[in-house]
Structure 1
Amino acid sequence: MAQALGISPQYGFSTGPVHSCPICRLPHELLGHIFRLAQRHQLGELEDDDDDSDYSTVKTQPVEVVVSQVNLYFRDIALGTRVLWRHINLGQNDSVEKLRMYLARSGPRVPLHLRLDLTRGIVALTEKLDLVFEQLDRWQRFTIHSKIETSDVPVISRLYDASAPLLEQLGLCVDDVDSENLKSVRRADSEQILTQGCPRLTVLRLRGLSMHFFRPPIPNITTLYLEQTRGLFIGYEGFKDLLTAAPALAHLSIFDAIIDEGADTWPTDSVSCIPVPNLISLRLSIPGTLQHVFSDILISISAPRLEYLVLRDVGETHLDKFWQLPGVAHKFPALHSLTFLEFDIRETDRLVMICGALPGITEFTCASSTSYAPTLLLIMAGKSPTSVENLWPNLCTLNMTLDIEDLGIAKAAVERRLGSGHLLKTLRLSRDVFDYADEEEEETLEWLGGNLVIEPFLAIARWPPGSDYDPDDTWFTN
């Protein structure tokens, strides 16, 4: 960190003159701001495309600790910048003393960002939890990972009759609940925790058993993650009730089979019966063998403002019921961005039907670990059995993983679009295409660069669009 800030690294504090160091002549406020930017960088909240930077190798200690040990000038500023100490991670190796230090240095009024990893044994857990929950009025972000909620050492159960006035983001990742605790869980209530109020809560992750046992009030929720990992299904009615209880919902991410086909069915007359009027972006991944739920969800929701759709692990037939819906092309009139992750649709006629069901796409992303020319690109290049002249006529941006041997197909697709007057503006391809291109492929890249913007396709865009880095957003990114 010291090297990243342009000064000589120190081990311990420097008590000698510091004003010979140019950076130490900066005003307190500016240097404190630099520390905060460096911390955000380390936490992953800022993009860093430079893998070779010195900074990328200095991540063993938190920024706030490192800068407080450079010299006395830095230490005074670090300790005086209270928001540097708001990020508190509590895991197996974190001591009570560290927790007390961060709480004290952040001051009594700075909102806290807390992450608790209770998946492994933690010494003095009750004492640490007492300290954390004493600060409930200061929680702004709170995430917990726990293997089991027990009656002996309750954690989330402490939130039953509680309020969190500053809480904005809550992540509950709980694998199991012990039988004794089940006796006291108010499962029938729609609001089970924080029943005294959390008026600022807008981002909520319910993973594992959390959506069944530890649900907070959700009228103000704008971003909701439903991540079923334990085989306890929420059911169609439960799913519908959950969404209709969140009228402000703008971003919905579902990793959940939702129904147990042996005990529950999706109604056949559910067309647009779940209103989500403010929904802007939707992600779907259906684990297990119930992939027809892809179609069921898309058919059931009424989302006239939906702009972004991300589908992971869609197979050949999983969208058939959706694209066969009468009038489907008018179902999502605002939809313009479509992303397929690890999809497996190679039948050209079927893919054309899917494109026809979502006609307004202006940006398409296709990311797969399988090395074959994406079917859509073959159709666009006129190299498939199904010939479609103006597939997605408004398409401007194409992002895809592509084997370097298929670069010629990309060129043919761009040429065909040019000839039809429906020009692509931006093409992003796998980095390997740029790194390992031979002379002929370099010529192809040069031709492409003369007709549109061509760039490496580095990563799937963060979700929701424009959001900060989320270390728990793993189901769609790994």
Structure 2
Amino acid sequence: MTDEIPFSSGIGEEERRVHSFEIVVSQTCSHFRNVALATPRLWSSIYVDATRRIDHIAQDVARSGVCWLDIRIDVGVQDLQMNDQNLEAMMDLLTPHSRRWRSLSIACGCERVDYPVVGRLCNSSAPGLQQLSITVDDVDRPNATMVSANVNYPHIFKDGTPRLAFVRLRGMALSFYRPHLNFVTTLHLDHTRKSLLVPYSTFLDIVTCSPFLENLSLHGDIIAPSSWPAGNRPIQIPNLRSLRIFGEAEHIYSGILLGIQASTLESLTLKDMKNPDLDTLWNMADSSWYARLSRLTLVDFELSLPIYERVFLTFQNITTIYALQSTVSESPLIRLLLEGRLGGPNGPYIPWPRLKTMAFSYDAYGSDEALIERVVETRREQGCPLSKLRLGVDYEEMEEDPPQAIDVGDDIEIEFFWQAELWPENRTFFDHDDGLFI
């Protein structure tokens, strides 16, 4: 093994490597090169795809010393022609170091019996693993009995993962490659295969496996409408604080919100929802279920005026609303807030009297500024003042022509932003695979 650091050829893996921090630093001068080679943490993030050379992966592993490793393996659809022997050799290099894996992300176009990637993890020991993200698009010769297998007997990392707090199972990984979930606090279930549905009983076991679960993200329909048990008690997730739902069929939104009861729920994100998708919820929900719900985020859709009025009455204690599909001048919410009081079944009421923070897309060249000033003044007059406005702008446009300050008084903070919010909001690491809700 050599300490020679490769220079870029301008394509593929070399193109990525020349822009990585450790390579840029080591190519600056001989002093920085020596420092880089003597700093194991610089080499502890290891990326594997079809363009990487085995000797370069071996160098990264060796230079990382005894540091925790962050591993990303991408053998997606575009890499199905990856040399099988190279793939085997790469996995042979990495799996002996599984005891010092801190995070692992795998994107696999097709998990094959003869040359498995995820399957190699079955008997690996990963006592330090904290974050795991697995995407499997297809499985060669799948074992159907694994879909509804007992979640207490994991498919992978059978020796247990006592520090595993963050898990994403996408595609067929949800059915065939589950780890221990006993201590998970953040769980992503991304169902992307319509032909393979998880039995309700398995879904129930998965989401209740960890008593520490605080953040749950659900994409896809996962469970067929006919499998939702009628009249059963809601699933109890006692510590759930944040929930994201991105469904395809209309039953999923009401089904989840009525099927999961979490008195501690503080944050709800809904993506691509249509106005009728919550009709069942309005008729059956008890607003006391959502007494602690204070943050509502709407992604890639906007509610109509009548649906917003239903939302006001069902989710009564909202303090933060993100509605980025609309600019301020386009949003029905702004129109309702400007009305002041609305007529409800129990008489006139102020919508969301505890509302403090609003976020919208911002049109600096339209009527947004004037409407912002009017909404701010209306809420002050009602005794329900806002404290913060977050306005989404295009980064390049903001660099060329920064938006002007909006005169709404010193008691309100105006913040312009261009990046998606962290989810969950206390996440301390970069989640490369969280693109479905953006």
Which TM-score applies when normalising by structure 1?
0.79
Q: Which string of whole-angstrom CA distances, capped at 9 and with x for unpartnered residues, describes residues 39-95 of structure 1?
A: xxxxxxxxxxxxxxxxxxx99521111212222321222122111110000012110
* Contact 2:17/2:23, CA 8 A, preserved across alignment: no
Q: Do the aligned residues in 2 keep the contact of 1:380 with 1:389 (CA within 8 Å)?
A: no
| 1:376 Cα deviation from its structure 2 partner | 1.0
Whole-angstrom distance in 1 between the partners of 2:293 and 2:358: 16
Q: Against the structure 1 CA distance between its residues 148 and 90, is the aligned structure 2 distance closer, same or farther, given a 3 Å change threshold?
A: same
Q: Which residue of 2 aligns with 1:424?
A: 386
Q: 1:357 aligned to 2:309?
A: no
Q: 1-side partners of 2:227 and 2:54: how far apart? A: 49
Relative distance call for 1:474 and 1:345 in structure 2 (3 A) is same
Alpha-carbon spacing, 1:384–1:333, altered in 2? closer, same or farther (3 Å): closer
Task: Give 1:36-47 correspondences, 5 Å limit.
Answer: none
Distance 1:458 1:343 in 2: 18
Q: 1:230 to 1:451 in 2, by over 3 A?
A: same
1:185-238 deviations in Å (ceiling 9; x for gaps):
586242211111111111111000001001111010111110111112214322
Matches for 1:11-410 after TM superposition, within 5 Å: 60-107=18-65, 109-119=66-76, 120=79, 121-123=81-83, 124-179=86-141, 181-182=142-143, 188-190=149-151, 191-231=154-194, 232-261=196-225, 264-271=226-233, 273-287=234-248, 290-326=249-285, 328-346=286-304, 348-368=305-325, 373-382=330-339, 390-404=350-364, 405-407=366-368, 408-410=370-372
Distance in 1 between the 2:407 and 2:125 partners?
Answer: 61
The alpha-carbon distance between structure 1 residues 276 and 464, as it changes in their structure 2 partners (threshold 3 A), is: same
Instruction: Flag the 1:138–1:78 CA change in 2: closer, same or farther, 3 A.
Output: same
1:183 to partner: Cα distance: 7.6
Question: Within 2, Cα distance between the matches of 1:432 and 1:217?
Answer: 41
Aligned to 1:462: 422
Deviations 1:149-199 (A, max 9, x none): 1111012112223321111111110001112x5389586242211111111
Indicate the SS of the match to 1:141.
Answer: strand
Q: Is the 8 A contact 2:147 2:176 kept in 1?
A: yes
The CA distance in 2 between the partners of 1:60 and 1:424, in whole Å, is 47
Could you tell which deviates more after superposition, 113-122 or 252-261? 252-261
Alpha-carbon RMSD: 2.8
CA distance in structure 2 between the partners assigned to 1:162 and 1:323 by the alignment? 48
| Structure 1 residue 385 displacement after superposition | 8.9
Which stretch shifts more, 202-211 or 452-461?
A: 452-461
Q: Where does structure 2 lack aligned partners over 5 or more consecutive residues?
A: 1-5, 8-15
Q: Aligned equivalents of 2:167 and 2:216: distance in 1?
A: 10
AA of the residue aligned to 1:113: D
SS of 2:339 mapped into structure 1: coil
What CA distance in whole angstroms lies between the structure 1 residues aligned with 2:247 and 2:176? 22
Identity of paired residues, percent?
32
1:28 aligns with none
Q: 1:276 to 1:304 in 2, by over 3 A?
A: same
What's the CA shift string for 1:437-469, capped at 9, x where partnerless? x9xx96xx6432555222214233110112132
**Structure 1 residues 430 and 223, CA, compared in 2 at 3 Å: closer, same or farther?**
closer
Deviation at 1:432, TM superposition (A): 6.6
Aligned partner of 1:19 in structure 2 is none
Unaligned 5+ segments in structure 1 are 1-10, 13-57
Cα gap change, 1:151 to 1:414, in 2 (>3 Å):
same
Closer, same or farther: CA 99–357 of 1 in aligned 2, 3 Å: same
Q: Is the 8 A contact 2:302 2:323 kept in 1?
A: no
Identify if the C-alpha distance between structure 1 residues 432 and 211 changes in structure 2 by more than 3 Å, giving closer, same or farther.
closer
Q: Indicate if the aligned counterparts of 1:399 and 1:457 stay in contact, CA closer than 8 A.
A: no
> If the length of structure 2 is used for normalisation, what is the TM-score?
0.86
CA distance in 2, matches of 1:456, 1:184: 51
Query: Do 1:382 and 1:413's aligned partners in 2 also have CA atoms closer than 8 Å?
Result: no
Q: Which amino acid aligns with 1:353?
A: R
1:457/1:296 CA distance change after superposition, 3 Å: same
Any conservation in 2 of the 1:254–1:285 contact (CA below 8 Å)? yes
State how many pairs are aligned. 408
Aligned to 1:44: none
